[in-house]
Amino acid sequence: MNTSPYLKELYSDYTTKQSSIKKYVGRVDETSRAIEAEVYQWLTLLKKKHEVINEFRQSRRKSVPSSQFALEDAQQDQKQTTNTDLKKLEAVIQDKAQLINHMFQKVEKEMMFLTQSYKQLAEIVNEVSDTFDASFKGI
């Protein structure tokens, strides 16, 4: 039995699969780095939200006599600005969280592909081993 063409085909399959794996490992690495950057930005936004909420709470603690309408109006404007800023910030935080979750799902799919690809590589190696064993049994 001449196994040379068959083994060449198996080796070709192996190298193709290995090349594909290297490409996906690169993608996972890039996406992991991007996730790290996005999470850092998300945490920065959460910190900023916390600061805005603390500012709002501190401004509410300062009571202004009702006879000082000008100060009361200024404080009302500040509260309105704080609420608007907070709503915008919460929207950005929500968008960032959705982006991060999407990126995690992408990496999860790529990891499943890599797991499947490594299983296929193992099958190819086992097939080559079995073919060699079979070809030398009669000797």
What does the pLDDT read at residue 89? 92
pLDDT recorded at residue 1: 47
Long-range Cβ contacts of 52-59 (<8 Å, 24+ apart): 52/82, 52/85, 52/86, 52/89, 53/86, 55/82, 56/82, 56/83, 56/86
Q: Which tens digit of pLDDT belongs to each residue from 58-86?
A: 877 665 555 555 555 555 555 566 778 88
User: What stretches in the chain show pLDDT beneath 70?
Assistant: 1-3, 61-81, 138-139
Domain definitions of the chain by residue range? 4-136
**pLDDT for position 9:** 86
CATH of domain 4-136: 1.10.287
Q: Per the confidence metrics, is the pTM higher than 0.75?
A: no
